[in-house]
A and B are shown apart, each in its own frame.
Chain A
Amino acid sequence: MRDHTTSLHYPPDVLAQARRRRLKRVLIAVLLGAVVAAYTYGALDQRVIAEDRNDLLPQWAEALLLGTAFAIASLPVGWSVLGRILIPVPTLFLYLSVFTGKEPPLPFTAGFILALVYAAALTALSAYLGDRPDRRLFGSRR
């Protein structure tokens, strides 16, 4: 097992650099979470049926929750898996309601398949961002 006390022996500039790198990764996760929330809000706003817009929660809350789940899932920490668990099912239903509720609506089967693709893509992207503490994150040094 790795001895965490050894990090105390690193020079201060190395520790500061590591802190900056970690902060950058957290900021990227938060930023991408905001992008997902904005994107989802815009998508949900395309629905033309009034009942769809406030089905379970207000659409801004739904978008915000999905964005938050994505941000958590993208964090380079062990518990980011919690966010990843939350993403697929709500994404599938939210985007299915977008595809079938927009003007003109997509056929249900096509909408379902595309919603599945969105759910899979968001989960995979968050996994890619979160599951690589030993890999370079967008240009950061190891």
Chain B
Amino acid sequence: MSSAEPPHLLENATASSLPTDASAGPLQALGRRFEDLLRRSGQWGLRDSELGLLAVSAIVGVVIGTGVVAVQWTVQLLHAITFGIGFDRHLSEGRDLDWWRILLVPVAGGLLSGVVSALLRRSREREVVDAIEANALFGGKMSLVDSVSLTLLTMISSGFGASVGMEAGFTQLGSGVASRAGQELRVRRGDLRTLVGCGAAAAIAAAFNAPLAGAFYAFELVIGSYTSAVLAPIAIAALSATLVVREVFQAESIFALDRAVRVAGLDYVLFAVLGFAAAGIAVATMTGVTWVERIFRRLKVKAWARPAVGGLIVGLIAVIFPQTLGSGHGAIQLTLDQGIPAGVLLGLIAAKGLASAVSVGSGFRGGLFSSSLLLGGVYGGAAVVVLQIAIAALGYPGVTLDATSYMLVGTASVAAAVVGAPITMIFLVLELTGSLPAALGVMVGVIIASVTVRLTFGYSFATWRFHVRGVSIRGGHDVGWMRDLTAESLMRRDAHTAPLGMSIAEFRAKFPLGGPKRAFVVDAEGRYRGIVLTADAHNPDIADKLEERLIDNLRFAEESFLLPYQSIRVALDRFSNTETETLAVLSDAAERRVLGFLTEAYVLRRYNQELERTQAEEHGERTLFGPG
């Protein structure tokens, strides 16, 4: 309900939403009161207030920061219970793990994940809409229940050792909570999209203790663009989440450097080479997930059992390479501390890529964000060994490369290519290391990797998943309004019909010049048979035998029409292809009942209006169409 509606309607809504059932539990009553409070905020002018949006962003940031820490602790607790490690240790450090636990726990996690997924799918069959899809197609609308369910599944996956990152769960939870808050507050479509971005920004900022990375994650992936209008809410959400994580929970960054990074002239050239190869690793990992899914489908393993089979494969890999277990945060630090031998690093590239592809492809829920960070780190570590050998072989034994800088470049390059967020990765390295030389070096590798993936493959992991599902979106940029503008919503309903076989004389009498510009011809069963223009029927060249000549010969566009659900994009294409200015909107292709019609001029005008409105929203020009 909008704030523009009469007060009595608001009052009614408020009254009806108050808990009236005495038997309702105190938790439900509290929930209803909270929802009621959110609804009433519409009366306070929150919908039209930029300051109100900033306040909501800050609250969202605090809530999500707390939620991320709670989820991290739960997963850590699961690791402690299932793998028997200390609460202060990371699973992927791979130390003191029992081999039988490594084999059995992912299988048990796979079974649990598969069964929970199957149960959830029974009640909610649709695909879970993530933050990018929600912003691109649904104007920022997400289901909180779906988001919480997906986060729960991600916790099970990561908690039982599957080689997946938690970031997908964090962003789903964050953007789901923010979207729900926005929907309860009845904010505008543009503001709801911004709030979804705030949720994702807060989640990533809290997960990595890096507010800039969180904010730019939202700009690059979830909002789809950077504008000054969305800067403040997203930055505030990211900052407030980071502050909560740092000051209240004293959480640590995923990795820390205790030494300076050294970058010289030759390094930049080698970083470019590193970035180029990183693109190959990223593409192999992304397509690997799809391959694994296809293999599982061909093997005809039941959907609920697939994660258990995947868990067995992950266990078999992790018995040799325990660093592949979980999200890999411990292993990233271990890699940067050069605590993994060079030979093992080489094997770990293959092992981590395979374990991640098998985990995601078999049905464990989670993403590739932190997996790609580890993959990139070990790749950078292995690459620097190979480069060092090559430089020595070329006759420059005195040239020593700084391994840390190459690991950082590898980390950011692979992750940027997989996640599709280059600036995010540059800021992530800058914030976590505090080293400008490292960030500059990373910039070279990241740009080369991102451009290479964009030109050769064309997708990030998220958009690749959409592509595989048949959803044609390339990011969070809002294209949903085009789907919302359907032929049915745009059409004029005052379509005049004329029967097939009508004489031109009758037509002229019924449709004189100055009246309706066109008539839709229908047969005896009322089925659409074409359009006749009034001007054509009144053509002065048609002067004799008007009682005998029929309008049938003046008809056109008999097979060109629109259906009610078709979008404005389809309508524009149809006008262009059929070279007509008017199209009938029919009930369906078989029944062919005329519901209304569309003209090209009107469709173009509405398209331009919506385009202008969307751009105005993105640039924060509220006064153009809003109440000011």
Given A98-B320, A114-B316, A138-B291, is A42 in contact with B354 using a C-beta cutoff of 8 Å? no
Q: When the two chains form their complex, are residues A42 and B343 in contact, meaning their CB atoms are under 8 A apart? A: yes
Indicate if A112 sits at the interface (CB-CB under 8 A): no
Indicate if B351 sits at the interface (CB-CB under 8 A): yes
Indicate if A26 sits at the interface (CB-CB under 8 A): no
In the complex, chain A residues whose CB is within 8 Å of the CB of B354:
35, 39
A97-142 at interface with B (beta carbon < 8 Å): 98-99, 102, 104, 106, 110, 114, 117-118, 121, 128, 138-139
| A71 CB to nearest chain B CB (Å) | 14
Indicate if B346 sits at the interface (CB-CB under 8 A): yes
Residue of A nearest to B287 (CB): A138
Most chain A C-beta atoms within 10 Å of own C-beta, residue among B290, B343, B348:
B343
| B5 CB to nearest chain A CB (Å) | 52
- B-contact 0/1 string along A28-49, CB 8 Å cutoff: 0001000110111111111000
| A96 CB to nearest chain B CB (Å) | 12
Tell me the bound Cα distance from A112 to B358 in angstroms.
Answer: 24
In the complex, chain B residues whose CB is within 8 Å of the CB of A43:
320-321, 347
B328-343 at interface with A (beta carbon < 8 Å): 341, 343
Given A35-B354, A38-B350, is A45 in contact with B343 using a C-beta cutoff of 8 Å? yes
Q: When the two chains form their complex, are residues B320 and A41 in contact, meaning their CB atoms are under 8 A apart? A: no
Q: When the two chains form their complex, are residues B345 and A42 in contact, meaning their CB atoms are under 8 A apart? A: yes
Indicate if B303 sits at the interface (CB-CB under 8 A): no
Given A31-B284, A110-B99, is A39 in contact with B343 using a C-beta cutoff of 8 Å? no
* Residue in contact with A99 in the complex, picked from B287, B319, B341, CB distance below 8 Å: B319
Q: When the two chains form their complex, are residues A46 and B291 in contact, meaning their CB atoms are under 8 A apart? A: no
In the complex, chain B residues whose CB is within 8 Å of the CB of A118:
316
Interface size class of B (residues with CB under 8 A): 20 to 34
Q: When the two chains form their complex, are residues A42 and B99 in contact, meaning their CB atoms are under 8 A apart? A: no
Residue of A nearest to B382 (CB): A38
| A60 CB to nearest chain B CB (Å) | 8
- A-contact 0/1 string along B332-375, CB 8 Å cutoff: 00000000010111111111011000000000000000000000
Tell me the bound Cα distance from A118 to B320 in angstroms.
Answer: 11
In the complex, chain B residues whose CB is within 8 Å of the CB of A39:
347, 350-351, 354
Q: When the two chains form their complex, are residues A41 and B294 in contact, meaning their CB atoms are under 8 A apart? A: no
In the complex, chain A residues whose CB is within 8 Å of the CB of B290:
139
Tell me the bound Cα distance from A117 to B376 in angstroms.
Answer: 29
- A-contact 0/1 string along B268-296, CB 8 Å cutoff: 00000000000000001001001100110
Tell me the bound Cα distance from A45 to B321 in angstroms.
Answer: 11
* Residue in contact with B347 in the complex, picked from A31, A40, A104, A110, CB distance below 8 Å: A40
In the complex, chain B residues whose CB is within 8 Å of the CB of A121:
316
In the complex, chain B residues whose CB is within 8 Å of the CB of A114:
316, 319
In the complex, chain A residues whose CB is within 8 Å of the CB of B353:
35
Q: When the two chains form their complex, are residues A138 and B294 in contact, meaning their CB atoms are under 8 A apart? A: yes
Q: When the two chains form their complex, are residues B344 and A45 in contact, meaning their CB atoms are under 8 A apart? A: yes
Q: When the two chains form their complex, are residues A42 and B347 in contact, meaning their CB atoms are under 8 A apart? A: yes
Given A99-B319, A106-B99, is A45 in contact with B294 using a C-beta cutoff of 8 Å? no
B78-110 at interface with A (beta carbon < 8 Å): 99-100
In the complex, chain A residues whose CB is within 8 Å of the CB of B350:
35-36, 38-39, 42
Given A31-B284, A106-B319, A114-B319, is A41 in contact with B343 using a C-beta cutoff of 8 Å? yes
Q: When the two chains form their complex, are residues B99 and A41 in contact, meaning their CB atoms are under 8 A apart? A: no
| B104 CB to nearest chain A CB (Å) | 12
In the complex, chain B residues whose CB is within 8 Å of the CB of A46:
320, 344, 347
Tell me the bound Cα distance from A73 to B100 in angstroms.
Answer: 32
Most chain A C-beta atoms within 10 Å of own C-beta, residue among B290, B316, B320, B349:
B320
Tell me the bound Cα distance from A139 to B295 in angstroms.
Answer: 11
* Residue in contact with B344 in the complex, picked from A42, A106, A128, CB distance below 8 Å: A42
Tell me the bound Cα distance from A110 to B102 in angstroms.
Answer: 13
Tell me the bound Cα distance from A90 to B295 in angstroms.
Answer: 26
Given A31-B284, A106-B99, is A42 in contact with B346 using a C-beta cutoff of 8 Å? yes
Most chain B C-beta atoms within 10 Å of own C-beta, residue among A38, A41, A59, A117:
A38
In the complex, chain B residues whose CB is within 8 Å of the CB of A128:
295
Q: When the two chains form their complex, are residues B319 and A41 in contact, meaning their CB atoms are under 8 A apart? A: no
Tell me the bound Cα distance from A139 to B321 in angstroms.
Answer: 30
Q: When the two chains form their complex, are residues B348 and A42 in contact, meaning their CB atoms are under 8 A apart? A: yes
| Chain A positions near chain B (C-beta within 8 angstroms) | 31, 35-36, 38-46, 59, 98-99, 102, 104, 106, 110, 114, 117-118, 121, 128, 138-139
The 9 closest A-B pairs by CB, nearest first: A42-B347, A45-B343, A39-B350, A38-B350, A35-B350, A43-B320, A42-B344, A38-B346, A45-B344
| Chain B positions near chain A (C-beta within 8 angstroms) | 99-100, 284, 287, 290-291, 294-295, 316, 319-321, 341, 343-351, 353-354
With A42-B345, A110-B99, A138-B294 given, can you name 11 additional A-B contacts, CB distance below 8 Å? Answer: A35-B353, A38-B349, A39-B350, A42-B349, A43-B320, A44-B343, A45-B344, A46-B344, A99-B320, A118-B316, A139-B294
* A-B contacts, 18 listed (Cβ < 8 Å): A38-B346, A39-B351, A40-B347, A42-B346, A42-B347, A42-B350, A43-B321, A43-B347, A44-B343, A45-B341, A45-B344, A45-B347, A98-B320, A106-B99, A117-B316, A118-B316, A138-B291, A139-B290
